Structure 1
Amino acid sequence: MNAASVLLCLILAGLPLASRAHGPEGDHDHGPATPAAGPSVLPRTEAATEAFELVATLEPHRLAIVIDRFATNEPVLQAKLTVESGGLKAEARFDPEHGDYAVSSPELLARLRTPGQHALVFTLLAAEESDLLDAQLNVASANDAHTHRPLWVQGAYGAGALLLLGAGVSVGVGVWRRRAVKGGL
Structure 2
Amino acid sequence: MRSLPPDLFAELCQQSIEHLQCQSTGVDQTLLCQRFQAAGVDTSVDEVRNVINAVNYLFSTAAKHKLSTDALLNTVATHYKLPKQTLQVIRHIWNEEGNKLSDIESSRDLLPSAQLLDFQWKIGMAVSSDSCKSLNHAYVTVELKVAEHSGQVQTKVFEMTIPEFQNFSKQFKEMSAALENV
TM-score, normalisation: structure 2: 0.22
Higher relative contact order (CA 8 A, sep 6+): 2
Q: Which of structures 1 and 2 has the bigger CA Rg?
A: 1
- Tell me the TM-score normalised to structure 1 length: 0.22
Richer in helix (by share): 2
> As a proportion of its length, which structure holds more strand?
1
